[in-house]
Structure formats: C-alpha cells, structure tokens
Structure 1
Amino acid sequence: MASGQQKAQQNLEAFEVWQATQADNDFKQIIFRGQLNRGEVAKAIGCGKSALNQNPALREALKTLEDNLREKGVLPPVTESAKKDDSKPKQYDNTANRKLMDSKRVSALEAENIELKAKVKELESKLERFGELNETLSEMGFMPR
C-alpha cells in the first residue's frame, strides 16, 4: 500500500497527465462558478475532492492551471473582492439556517395577519349593519324573546 506522500505524488502526476491531454474546450465544459469544477477534476484524475485541497503541490498546480486559463480567456477573470477574500478562510455562519427558517416564518405570519385583518374588517361591517337592524327592531317593538 502506498504511503500518503507516495499517493500525493501519484495524484500530482495524474493531474499533470490529465492537464496535458485537455484542450481549452474541454476545460470550458467543466467550468463552475468561475473556476474548474473540483468534483470533475477529481474524477478525471482518480482522487477524492479533498486531495485537491489537502495536497499542497496539487492545489498549487490547479491554481497555476486556472491562472493560465484566465490569461487565455478560457476562465473569467477574478474580481477584486475575490482576490481580497482568497487568502482569508471563509467564516462559517451557523445562524444562516436559522435566519432562513425565521424569514419563512415571518412571511407566513405576515400573510396570515393580512388575511385576519380583512376578516376582522368584514365582520365589523356586518356587526355594524346588524347593530342598526337590531336597534330598529327594538324601537318598533319587534324584538324576539
């Protein structure tokens, strides 16, 4: 069984072979969100997606490939905000799911509130109409017992 370093070297060599056999049109077919689709690259070279991040040599080779493709115009250029955020680790937002649930609940409650306000207005108008009718009947002496 190969050690971790040997496996890392094999993955790098497989990447270099794969890269050499691809044309610009091949790369265009696996673009996802402005970069090469990591899952497709991993499948093509026969490793896991995690190897693309954890293997420093492989990660650097992939970055170099993407930079070259950007120079050729195959990949879109990196925006200024992406350049700034590239070196920073992304902060995990553990409240994102809660915020989504809260916003859905708020919108449902607002819709229910609008429906209930309309129903209250309708019932108030009926009450006013029947209140006048009741008053008229009592003045005429036709009140039911």
Structure 2
Amino acid sequence: MANGQQKAQQNLEAFEVWKATQTDDDFKQIVFRGQLNRIEVAKGTGCGKSALNQNPALRKALKALEGELRDRGVLPPLTEAARKNEGKPQAYDNTVNRQLLDSKRVPPLEAENIELKAKVKELEKRLERFGELSETLSDMGLMPR
C-alpha cells in the first residue's frame, strides 16, 4: 500500500496525464465560476476532490494550468478583487445558511398570513352580522337571552 507521499505523487502524475489528454474545448465544458470545476477535475484524474486542495504540488499544477488557460482565453481573466484575494483564506459567514433557509421559508409563511388575515376579517363580518341578528331575535322575544 502506498504511503501519503507516494499517493500524492501518483495523483500529480494522473493529473498531468489527464491534462495532456484534454483540449481547450474539453476545458471550456468544465468551467465553473471562472475556474475549472474541481469535482470534474477530480473525476478526470481519478483522485478525490480533497487531494486538489490538500496536495500542494497538485494544487500548484492546477493553478498553473488555470493560468495557462486564462492566457489562451479559455478561462475568463481574473478580476481585480480576485487578484487581491488570491491565496488568502475566505472569511466564513455562518449566517449564510440561516439566511438561505429563511429566504425559502418566509414567502410561504407571508402568503399564509395574508390568507389568514382575510379569513379573520370575513369571520368578523359574519360574527357582527349574526350578533345583530341574535340581538334582534332576542329583543323580539324569539330567543332567550
């Protein structure tokens, strides 16, 4: 069984073989958010997606490939903000998941609230009408109070 360093080297070699077999059109088909789709690259090389992030040599080779593809016009050029933040860790926003859940949950609840308010108004009108009718019948002596 291969140790970690041997596995990392095998993954790098598999990446190089995969890269050599791809054309610019193949790369264009797996572009996602301005870079190569990591899941598709991992599938093509036969390694796990985590290897693309954890293996420094593989990560460097992938960045170099993306740089070459940008120079050839296959990938879009990096924006100024992306250049500034390249290599820096992104800040984790723990409220994003909650906001996503809320944005899915709120519209149906608002619609239900509107429906219920309309129903309450209708029932209040009925109650008012039947209250007056009940009072009239009671005044006429047709109904005990």
| TM-score category, normalised to shorter length | 0.7 to 0.9
Q: Which residue identity is paired with 1:115? A: E
Is it true that 1:53 corresponds to 2:26 in the alignment?
Answer: no
Mark the runs of 5 or more structure 1 residues left unpaired by the alignment.
none
Listed one character per residue, the Cα deviations across residues 49-105 of structure 1 (whole Å, up to 9, x for unaligned) are 222111112111111111111121111222233333332212333343334444445
Cα shift at 1:128: 2.6
Aligned to 2:24: 24
Matched residues in 2 for 1:59 and 1:97: separation? 28
Matched residues in 2 for 1:57 and 1:81: separation? 25
Aligned to 2:35: 35
Aligned to 1:63: 63
Aligned to 1:4: 4
2:114 counterpart SS class: helix
Aligned to 2:143: 144
Matched residues in 2 for 1:106 and 1:59: separation? 41
**TM-score normalised according to structure 1 size:** 0.78
Cα shift at 1:135: 4.2
Aligned to 1:96: 96
| Aligned CA-pair RMSD | 2.5
Identify if the C-alpha distance between structure 1 residues 106 and 14 changes in structure 2 by more than 3 Å, giving closer, same or farther: closer
Matched residues in 2 for 1:143 and 1:33: separation? 77
Point out the more displaced range, 19-28 or 102-111: 102-111
Point out the more displaced range, 32-41 or 78-87: 78-87
Matched residues in 2 for 1:2 and 1:126: separation? 80
Mark the runs of 5 or more structure 2 residues left unpaired by the alignment.
none
**TM-score normalised according to structure 2 size:** 0.78
User: What is the number of equivalent residue pairs in this alignment?
Assistant: 144
